[in-house]
Amino acid sequence: MSDRARMTDDDRRSLALIGPGRAGLSVATALCSLGWRVRGVAGRDPLAPSVRAAASRFGAVAGSAGDVVGGLGGGVELVIVACPDGAIGAIAAEIAPVVDARTLVIHLAGSVGVHALSALSCRTGALHPLQTMPTAELGVARLAGSWCAIAGDPEVEQLALDLGMHPFPIADADRGAYHAAACIASNHLVALLAQVEACTSVPLDAFLPLVRATVDNVVELRPAAALTGPVARGDMETVRRHLDAIPDGERDAYRALARRAAVLAGRDSDLGGVLA
């Protein structure tokens, strides 16, 4: 157990949360279980119900970003910026005049690096949990054991380890490709399963054991060895029947993924005519 997990109420370290969405609430709540205290919560509108609800959840004050960072009687040790990626720079500029030089400011975005906080003269970092957090409650439960991309101040790595996560460094220049891969692994998978629903009247639940077994195969064998099916066999006639059978609006997506599968299987020359 870390020293932070053994802190008393009087010893708890303090943080401010800017952006009370699912990711911010998940990370802040998990830190509270380790002895941290949320002292302030900010959002685009300090009077918004989401900001008020988050502040009430933590027994914190609600206000503007500048208020919760600089107006809390000596400031806070940690600021978590959990706003949309494009707003991080503006938040950094807003709090720059009031943030203490000893404070660590981190953002939770995946697609941008520490440079998004360049307006600040204090310690900065980035911590992006490589995990889906559809609700704050599920997010808290899933953080421990998940991987996360980190950058910046060395304390960011320690925060990740305290949360039970597996941190790995990602340079700012590599963030775009990393975040694209994360979206493919999560968002595109959801879209793919929606395509399954669109192509047949068989309930989606019937396909989920197949999905889970396929993911297990990838874990054990890696993608190339886990690939099965008509593309892996070079079965052009079956692929043609698929394209004839599915709705018109699903054919482009099928072709795109089948072409990727053909490359993986070394069958792209065999299926090129069918998948063009």
- Could you report the per-residue pLDDT of 148-181, keeping only the tens digit for each? 999 999 999 999 999 999 999 999 999 999 999 9
- The confidence band for 6, taking pLDDT boundaries of 50, 70 and 90, is very low
Does the pLDDT at position 103 exceed 50?
yes
Would you kindly state where each structural domain of the chain is located, as residue ranges? 3-171, 200-275
**Tens digits of residue pLDDT in 208-254:** 999 999 999 999 999 999 999 999 998 999 999 999 999 999 999 99
Cα–Cα nearest to 10, from 41, 37, 33, 32: 37
**Tens digits of residue pLDDT in 70-81:** 876 557 999 999
pLDDT score for 160: 98
CB atoms under 10 Å from CB of 261, counted, come to: 21
Comparison of pLDDT for 221 and 5, the residue scoring more: 221
Mean pLDDT computed over every residue of the chain: 92
Give mean pLDDT, residues 104-116. Answer: 96
Q: What's the pTM value of the predicted model, to 2 decimals?
A: 0.88
pLDDT score for 12: 65
Give mean pLDDT, residues 172-197. Answer: 96
Does the pLDDT at position 3 exceed 70?
no
> Under CATH, which architecture does the 3-171 domain have?
3-Layer(aba) Sandwich (3.40)
Q: Using a pLDDT cut of 70, give the percent of the chain over it.
A: 94
Give mean pLDDT, residues 118-147. Answer: 95
**Tens digits of residue pLDDT in 252-276:** 999 999 999 999 999 887 776 777 7
CATH topology of domain 200-275: N-(1-d-carboxylethyl)-l-norvaline Dehydrogenase; domain 2 (1.10.1040)
pLDDT score for 73: 56
Does the pLDDT at position 85 exceed 80?
yes
